[in-house]
Amino acid sequence: MDTSLSPFKIFSGTKSRYMAEEICKELGVELGKMKIEHFADGEFEVCFEESVRGCEVYLVQSTFPNCDNLMELLLMIDAAKRASAKSVVAVMPYFGWARQDRKDKPRVSIAAKLVADMLTAAGVDRVITMDLHADQIQGFFNVPLDHLYASSVFIPYIQSLKLEDMVIATPDVGGAKRANSYAKYLDLPLVLCHKQRAKANVVAKMTVIGDVKDKNVILVDDMVDTAGTITKAANLMIENGAKSVRALCSHAIMSDPATERVEESALSEMIFTNSIPYSKGCSKCTIISVARLFADTIRRVHSNQSISSQYLIK
């Protein structure tokens, strides 16, 4: 690295420490010392235990449930700014609250915009994240945002499977753009699933648009919450004559009963990144680390280099 640049330090919130340690290992640096003290009423205090004056500070924290993860990140940003850090970068492998990205019915909040505003108000200078639920969330920020793509780790994995007669599929029409990018890059056919929801997290009806007979299907999605949609799509693909069904999902939210649904489904394999810690022990789940992707991005941001060259697809 360019030694003329300001020094940088990496710190981590409580639940993303595993990711921060992997990133630090890739970069060959020590994880910064920080203490988070909890009080009896649930309130907590963030304290850096080393100087960050004049440093570029990278704060690694995904904002998956519960709300403490988001609050930790906000307090970390505030503490770093008050400690005279030169710049503060939020490294958010998973950007939570992103499903609320528009006003799709009367009298609802746009939580993704609110979270962006809170991060800015806390004093963040830059955000690095991966596979946002909706691309337009990038426009909610008034600071630079680097949007990374899990395709850079998923595509080599797909290619390593050496499957014949593959098709790329999406479990809902909303993910068509993402799935189409994979299909174009790999020069494979695209299949769509059209779903109708009875209510949030409940799929009433689903139909397949396209031919999956005697095909090895790769379902592509950005997150799995209760796994209702993805498992229903997988079962439907098998009913329509597919040889096998695998799923690529960037973020393993996996709220109960997701693990049981995946185990009991027609899925041969569910492939996640480690943007969110998942330890419920599903025999069909494969976890791929994105620590190197984030480490390389931090290195490039620190050295004022372009990061677009590392994208396989968008």
Separation of CA 191 from chain center: 23
Active site residue 195: yes
CB neighbour list of residue 273: distance below 8 Å, 6 or more residues apart: 93, 130, 150, 153, 250, 251, 252, 287, 288, 289, 290
Cα distance between residue 201 and residue 211, in whole Å: 27
Annotated active-site residue in 9, 113, 195, 232: 195
Q: Are 146 and 167 in contact (CB under 8 A)?
A: no
Q: Which two tokens stand for residue 144?
A: 């630079």
Burial 278-303 (b: 16+ CB within 10 A, else e): beeebebbeeebbbebbbbbbebbbe
Contact 56, 68 (CB under 8 A): no
Question: 98 is written with which tokens?
Answer: 């992103």
Residues with a catalytic annotation lie at 195
